[in-house]
Structure 1
Amino acid sequence: MDNNNLPEKRLSDPGSDAKPQIFRTLRNIDLNLLTIFEAVYVHKGIVNAAKILNLTPSAISQSIQKLRTIFPDPLFIRKGQGVTPTAYATHLHEYISQGLESILGALDLTGSYDKQRIITIGTTPAIGALVMPLIYQAVKTHAPQLMLRNISVNDPEAQLSQFQTDLIVDSNTLNARALSRHVLFADKLLLICRKGHPALQEEVTVENLQRYEQTLLLMEGQNLNGLRQRVQDIFPERMVNFSSYNIFTIAALVGSSDLLGIIPERLFNMVRHCWPVEQIPFAPLNAESVEISLYYNKLSMRDPVLENLINVIRQAF
């Protein structure tokens, strides 16, 4: 069958040809003409639009004439000292104004534009649950036009260096020269067990504690090697029977078994409302701590919006 005479697809029709057709259409339109169209529409006259755009009335008239060759409509009709838009021009304005507002919001470098901007913050699930509520409240108070997006951390140095995320909050120390770091807080380590655990009725000594199997939180990062070694020095013969990358999984297992677990204090205060876990006071371990830090690409400080957000987050903690 000969398909050469079939009508072309409309731009709104789904299909693989839709986007290429849109690009071909946009290529034939000088987007500056749309700005001129909006100025004439909003200010209801060529002379007024010329003053706003710092152009001559002749240049504005020529631009409107070019638009008339693109769209099947005169767009503006002379009325007294100004012009009045046609019904078709009013239709165009609804879409063009929305598009220009979106572009202005995306290009806003001062944070003064009232449209939403998405800020991406990378965290692990546990740290996200710990810090994002406070960050959200601080942002909504000081920069309500911002929308936050939380993503997982897999390769934090690459994610920040390649601008895949705006900020990262993590317990690891990132050493890339292109990155800056601010410690938000330090959290001491606690030894936890289920409620009613036999260890709660015994004298808290290394010998007694090492009789019970323990869990191990798997955390990446060379900076944590020292902490791991110090924990190993505290419990030189500890028996690790379960390991996980997820602190919530460890808390759930500790709450339903005789396993012991090691967890930062703020996370313990969170998980104890979900699972029946208690702290075993043990000074040698409580003296150890982990630092939770905010990281960002140094080039981000050229962005006033991000610079302000970083200050807001630091003050919140």
Structure 2
Amino acid sequence: MNSMPGQLRLNWQDPVTGEQKSPLLTCPIALGRDFSQMPSEIEGQRVARLVLNSNQVSRYHTLLTWQSGHLCVVDQNSSNGTWVNGLLQTSAHLSTGDLLKIGPYEITVMFTLDGSGIPAALASEQSTIQVPEPIVALPERAEIGGSSRDLLPPAFQSHQILPQDLYATQLPVEEIDYLAVGAGLGSFVWIDYLRLFGASELQVRALGIDDRPYARYQRLCANSQIPSHERLRSNSDSCPDNIWGWPGYALREAWQEFNQGQLKRAGQYLWQVFAEPTFAQTYTPRAQNVFASIDREAIRIGWSQIYRFGRVRSIRQTTDGRYAIAYSPG
């Protein structure tokens, strides 16, 4: 892979909202559905990772990079392939104005070799690692004509809904006792409480666009240059996976070091947590340990059965005091 001057302007229209996106990026650029599955560096060069959150996009779908003086797109064995100007390609040279199709996304690539030719207002922008808000693409392009309100059943146009009107739409309807909208860390902690106090996984749903509750937080950490081995600004007993806060992260990490024969390091962690903040710096957990502990608790409470992939379109109260949520499945 050869580095070349100049930046790329990627232009596309949000397949759900119709909003125009046009980030200015420097190669190499990875495109995919899962931020953590895309490489952060290639041959010592920092990679700009662009999240296209649709089930039609693979976790690490394709790569834009310079090769022998040419801008190339290289498919990463994706499920649905990478299309260039209407042709399925595993690897291809790109020219400015070429159209990439990745799942429901149609992306126009604009560039010049010397960085000129980009409008002055755009050329002055800083090159950043862009991680747009994850979005869910609707299955058929023909349905994306108007606003999300136009896609809703007529029953959702009123402030309150009769339960029987939901079934009259002939759309799939599921009744559930507890629902968390977002499926992030807040949803995870609340659902963990419910499960601890006796709620079955069949009574609970979490609706969101990331199957890992910490996915957005992990992306923010990566963009803030906090890789998984670095420590977070958090306390030992601030445990999303354990409402009691015991054993905390310090004791867990000390136990891991003790089992590996690192007695001095284990003692340092224990000293930190018992002597902070007067005689020692406050203990902070490693990001990878926090995420791993959430993964373990997610398995224990049956998160995979609780989570549903989807984007919420509307929330309405029913006439009997409950709530109806309309969402687009991925």
TM-score by length of 2: 0.23
- Higher-Rg structure is 1
TM-score (norm 1): 0.23
Higher share in helix: 1
